[in-house]
Amino acid sequence: MNPIKQSLAAAAFGVTALLASASAFAAVATVDKPLKDFSGACESGGCGWSVAINGVELGSGQIGIDPSNGDISTAARSWRWDDGGSMVYLTGLSGNVDPFLVFGGGALNNSAADMTFAFTFSMPLIPALPVPINTFSEMGITLTPPPNAFAQVYATSSGGHIMEAQDIDILPSGARVRVNKGVDLFDESMLYTATGDGNPMTGDTQFFFQSASGSILSGGPYDIMVVTVQFGLTPGAGVGFSGKVEQIPVPEPSTYAMLGIGLATLAVVARRRRRT
């Protein structure tokens, strides 16, 4: 096996933990939503994935929605394109329309020039999310250089980040209004590099991790979430990535008031118990 491919396999990883603050927030701040209706969820073109190299799409497909719970799935979790040298692949795509998205993939540039790679994941939001919306994202990247050489992965999108997330409001006219979620990761102003020492078993691979939180305060309700991972990769280098984008509608002020009353009541009960 190609040493770079061996290093990529050894460097495989998954982002498996939710942000603790997001989980705690969701546990105490449930927002009422109408009953879900999954019929026609993908008719607006918001259920799918695609992968491109140097601007040429090499693979695409639809995601399925479990009508019992809104979980998404795809048969392409292990999709791969390989020309015998360079390759691009998906390692995972899962989530729920209520909504969160977990994704993973990677690429190997075995050519003599830089190559660009683009992964796009889109899913419907059911029911459509009203504002304000809190969003949390996290992603890790492994970068494996060729022996005795320099490697770099860098942003190539017009937005200037390797990972970008947007919500889309589909208007009655069919027009689409895109809003950035404010949780983009791996800015183009930063350098993400690694240098090989000639021995792929001595830990040449570099690991980078970022997370972000943001809010959408206007517009909507939003119908589709789109996550893109776009990057350039220097010759001989391999990269793997895994990440998550999760949205939680912000509770109404009355929810905070009820939470405060509940905490105050618990405090009063606790004081009375101590007295007795």
CB-CB contact of 179 with 215 (8 Å):
no
- Residue 36 has a pLDDT of 53
User: What CA–CA distances, in Å, run from 232 to 54, 67, 112, 118, 210?
Assistant: 9, 38, 13, 9, 18
Torsions phi, psi for 255 (to 5 deg): -65, -45
The pLDDT score that the predictor gives to residue 9 is: 45
Least Cα distance to 248 among 198, 162, 191, 183 occurs for 183
Write down the pLDDT at residue 32: 37
List the chain residues with pLDDT less than 50. Answer: 3, 6-35, 254-259, 262-263, 265-266, 268-274, 276
What pLDDT is attached to residue 117? 97
| Sign of the four-CA dihedral 123, 100, 168, 38 | positive
DSSP states along the chain: --HHHHHHHHT-----PPPHHHHHHHHH-----PPP--TTTTTTS-SEEEEEETTEEEEEEE-EE-TTT-EEE-TTTT-EEE-SS-EEEEEEEEEETTTEEEEEEEEE--SSS-EEEEEEEEEEEEEEEPSPEEEEEEEEEEEEPPTTSEEEEEE-STTSEEEEEEEEEE-TTS-EEEEE-S--EEETTS-EEEE--S-TTS---EEEEEEEEEEE-SS--EEEEEEEEEEEE-TT-EEEEEEEEEEEEPPPHHHHHHHHHHHHHHHHHHHHHHH-
d(CA 227, CA 231): 13
What is the C-alpha separation between 60 and 142, in angstroms, rounded? 24
* pLDDT reported for residue 27: 33
For residue 194, which of 145, 231, 242 has the smallest C-alpha distance? 145
